[in-house]
Amino acid sequence: MNVMITDISRDLDVSVAAVQAVITAFLLVMAVLMIPGSKLTDRWGRKRCFIWGLALFAVGALLSAAAPGIGVLVFGNAILEGVGTVLLIPPVYILTTLAFDDMTSRARAFGVISGLGGIGAAAGPLIGGFITTGLSWRAAFGFQALVVLLIIVLSRRITDPLPPDPSRPFDVIGSVLSAVGMLFLVCGILVADTDPALTAIFMAVGAVVLAGFFAYVRSRERAGKEALLSLALFRNRTSNLGLVTQNVQWLLLMGVSFVVSVFLQTVRGYNAVQTGVVFTAVTVGLLASSLAAARLAQRHPQRTLVMAGFVLTIAGIGLLLGLVGASSRVVAFAPGLLLIGLGLGTMLTPSVNIVQSSFAEGLQGEISGLSRSVSNLGSCFGAATAGTILVSDLGSGNTTYIWAMVALAVFALGGLAAAAALPRRAEQPGPAPRPASVARTSGSGAPA
């Protein structure tokens, strides 16, 4: 979507800010619904949620390809593809965690997943740019649908180690409270450049609703009922800090991607292919560091890897800031983006491993959903915050670009501080508390 912004806005006769809103809405749907979606994996089964999510994503991509206006694009891309992603992402991390017992093999598996995920995020602009320039932005959405259908065919061999439990209760009230709270928080960021007073109101309402959510969860657990999220997830200091680093990492990846893409297309006048080629540097960096995750995990503590990743990323942002005024050539962006790719690839895997490995099997569904929700919330904040600064005054040339990148650098420093606070030795996974009303055994004899 980032490299198609100009083409979509021209074809549908809408502003760049409108297309940015579609991108942010997609991320918002994932952030809002990821936790409830992860709980559905227990009721419906991990493989079934994965397949249904893929199918819904494919329908959304096809609808987006045929969109006659911005409204249909919002429904296809932001709603259908967003909900599809909510269903398919948690099973990936849950099944991986259950399949590998030791830290090294799990790090290798998460390294492959994070590496390919990062490569997809970085290579997407290049692939999308070629398709958009050679054919159209609509064909790029059609290509998405073809890839997803291929994954559905290949996923027939996936096995789910735990049977679904249709009788497991689903916390509807908790789902609504968590979704509404995060919705107000992100909407507050989105209107920051147009109405600061409304931003304050939205953020305050979001904070109040989330406080009510946690109070509701506490009362539900005290009553012996299963809540949307167990409060035990927030009593693990290692996991909490790991979640902070995850949030900042995805904020940086989405923020840098959006800022550089929009700047190159609207200020420097690059087309979709040229913009996509620039991001090859990020792809190379992510590929090199992510696929080395297993070897790095054997030689260095997870905390060290996360800190090193933030240092490399901050250095990359520094290069992007320093070289933007020194040269107008596209090569000026390559060194900074390469360092950012190396940094993000170095720390994405250990951050996921730190969080997932902090909890026992019974809480994997919940922590996976919380982890993905926090990451997607970071992506949403990245696109909204950096995008709001950049789009506010594109006519000023390099100025808004510089301020947007400075804002991302500040977030990166915050992530580095959280990484430095991680304990040198990870906390051991605790037992998964289950209410007596649901701690029963299914017919197959496996824990429900």
Q: 3-class SS at 107? A: helix
Counting beta carbons within 10 angstroms of the beta carbon of residue 360, is it exposed (0 to 12), middle (13 to 18) or buried (19 or more)?
Answer: middle
Judge whether residue 59 has pLDDT over 80.
Answer: yes
CB contact set of 409 (below 8 Å; sequence gap of 6+): 314, 317, 318, 321
pLDDT tens string 106-126: 667 776 776 677 667 667 777
For the entire predicted model, the pTM comes to 0.67
3-state SS, residue 164: coil
What type of residue sits at position 86? V
pLDDT at 353 over 60: yes
Q: How far apart are CA 54 and CA 32, in angstroms?
A: 19
In one letter, which amino acid is 184?
Answer: F
Amino acid identity of 78?
A: A
Q: What is the pLDDT of residues 18-49, one digit of tens each?
A: 887 788 788 778 777 877 777 777 778 888 88
Closest CA to 10 of 132, 162, 185, 173: 132
Q: How large is the average pLDDT for residues 301-325?
A: 84
Q: How far apart are CA 183 and CA 32, in angstroms?
A: 6
Domain locations in the chain as residue ranges: 2-157+236-420, 172-227
- Percentage of the chain beyond pLDDT 70 is 77
Helix (H, G, I), strand (E, B) or coil at 225: coil
For residue 105, is pLDDT > 80? no
Give the bridge partners for 359, in sequence order. Answer: 430
Three-state DSSP class for 430?
strand
Please enumerate in sequence order all residues whose Cβ is within 8 A of that of 263, keeping only pairs 6 or more positions apart, or say none: 390, 401
Radius of gyration over every alpha carbon of the chain, rounded to an integer in angstroms: 21
C-alpha of 302 from chain center: 20
Q: How confident is the model at residue 382 (pLDDT cuts 50, 70, 90)?
A: confident
pLDDT in tens, 223-277: 877 777 777 777 778 778 888 888 888 888 878 877 887 777 777 777 666 676 7
**Other Cβ atoms closer than 10 A to 176:** 14
d(CA 430, CA 147): 39
Query: Is domain 2-157+236-420 in CATH 3.90.1300.10, yes or no?
Result: no
